[in-house]
Each structure stands twice: as C-alpha cells, then as structure tokens.
Structure 1
Amino acid sequence: MIRPIIILLLLINVVSCKSPEARRPISQKTGSFINASVERNKKLNKKEQDIIQGIIKNDTLNKYLPSESGFWYYYNVKVEQDTITAKFGDIVNFDYNVKDFNKSVIYSDEDIKPQDYSMDKEELFTGLREGLKLMKPGETVTFLFPSQKAYGYYGDTNRIGTNTPLICEVTVNSITKTQND
C-alpha cells in the first residue's frame, strides 16, 4: 500500500517540477499595417520624384542641384564672394513664398513676412531648415521639396494639404552669428 503512494508522490513531484512556459498573447500583430504604410510611402516618393524630374527636364533656363537631404534647388541669385552660412544657433533673417507643383501660390511673401529664425533651435519644416543652411546672405534660391521634406502627412492644418510637395523661393536677408563659434 505504501509503495503505490510513494510512486504516486514521486510522479507528482516530477510532473510539478516543470519550468514555467511563457504565455502567448491572445492575438498577434503581423506588422501588415507598417508594411502597407512603407509601400504607400515608397510609391508616393517615387511619384513625387518623377514629377520633380519632369519639372527639371522642362525648365531649361535653370541648373538644378540635388541636395544630400533629398530635395532639389537652383540659384535665382548666387553670391560668390561671401562664405558665411548659418550654423547652429545663428539668427537667419529671411523671407519666402510657398507654391504647389502647379505653381499656384499657397503663401506669398506678404502672407509670411520676413522672419528671424534661430537655426535648429526653432520649429521650421525640414526641407526649409536644411535649405537655409546652404544659403548665404543676399542669395535667393528656389527649392523643390517632396512632401516628406515639406509638411508631410499632416500638412500645415491650414492651406497646405496632406502629402503636398512644395516649391519655395527663399531669400536670405542676413545671418547674425552667435557667440558660440
């Protein structure tokens, strides 16, 4: 009688010493939303790059330059002698206008007014911030920004809609260097 009880206790002991198993979630995410979003963005970027290349091809008067950041630009007015460009914290006084790729004005110079911008310390859409770093005082540059370098998915919640590529003509009036140099 004691022997079957001992065997039963040993068997219970062996079965109960099993290591705990991780619990599986009830539902598993596959990442399909992210994958679909990536594909949509790739198609949108390709479409916008094709439009930009068409604009460049049709504009034989200007020499467009590619930026390292993914936008295109040309100089309306280029300053050769001055080598000063804006660095972190410098105050850039500039004015600009904003058009869509059909060259319809979204914001004119008068709508925006000249602005003072503390380089990389204030909010400004990515393309314009990177474009200002390329410019010298007195220069006027026209930029072609794909939507991801402009206001992206959200637009500006006013006149610029979602995923809208932009043309901006920017004039840098002055650059005031800060003491950090």
Structure 2
Amino acid sequence: MDEKTEELRDIFLDTTGGDTVTERQEEGHGSLASDPDVEGRLAELVGRMRERYEFASDLADEDLVRLVRLYFDGTDDDAIADALGVPPDAVFTARMDLHLVRESDREAPFDLSRLRSLYVDDVPLDERAAELDAEEETVARYSEVVAADARSTRANDRFRDEFAELLAEQDLKGGHTEDAREDGLREAAEDIETNVSF
C-alpha cells in the first residue's frame, strides 16, 4: 500500500468509524422501489384527465382506474363491462374519454380519413352520415373514435403512455424482473462449456 493509499484509508476510517467499504443493501433503489402507490398515481392521472376534458362517461374514478388496468391486461369490452357491472357501450364511452382506442375501433365500414375531415370541418352528424352513406348511429360511434384520437394526438399521447408506463412499473415490481433474471441465468449457464479434468 503506497503512501497516498494509506492517507485515503486513514481519512476513510476517521470519517466512517469503520473499516468495511461495502455493506449489504437491503432495499432496492430507483423509482420502482420509492413509488409503490401505482393505484394512487393511476387515480391521479384519471383525475387530471377529468379536469382537462369533459368526460361523457358517468363512471366513478375508481371504476375508470379498474377499466385502465383491465384494458392494459388485454381484456375486451364485454369482459370489462362484466367486471364493472355496466353495459359494453359504457365501457366504450369511458375508453374514449381516457384516450384508450383499440386498433379494432378504427376498422370502420367507410373511409375513416374522410370522417376525420368531416369531423374537423364540424359537419353535422346527419350530413356526415349522408356523405359516408352510413347509419347515423354508426357514424356517431366512429366519430367518438376520431374525437378521442384527435384529443390524444393533441396531448402527444401523453396520458395513454403514462398509463402504460405506470402499469409496466407495477409488472416489474411484481416479480417479472426476478423471472427474467432466472431465465437469463439459466440460458447463460446452458452456454457454458464445462472442461473439468481430474
């Protein structure tokens, strides 16, 4: 040990009162460990959206949080409706309020880009239906999709992305990282060549 190292060691001992440099870390670090209240953060995000936009849905915030969770779990509207005890149409309306548009929502029986133009030009619903040669009820439903997409785009898809990030965090905290680590170790171990001679 050279003179400089000895000086540093003495400073360390004086400062810490101990002679061990490392200690076992019991708690995790980073945002995942320090922010366990994903449920509260989801509710806060729903509340922010309700303040910013005029919701058509009359579902309570707790139900909207459950809807968000089920949506990101890949649950369809019928199953979400059963879980919440509401009609599937109520789930659709709530999803549009929350900018949770499925790709299947955009599969219209007419050119959706044409409807977007009519919607942006503020053409009345009956005229949109006549222009698209479709039932008013059908055009109204796809108009909700167009409106939700427009609101989400204006917000840079921020709310949808935040929902996804929060739920991804919870998945990580729920042990998926442990599974991934074990799988990775198993794969790495399988690739090791053992060359032991006695």
The interval holding the TM-score normalised by the smaller chain is: under 0.3
* TM-score normalized with structure 1 length: 0.26
Structure of higher RCO (CA pairs closer than 8 Å, 6+ residues apart): 1
Between Structure 1 and Structure 2, the one with more helix by share is 2
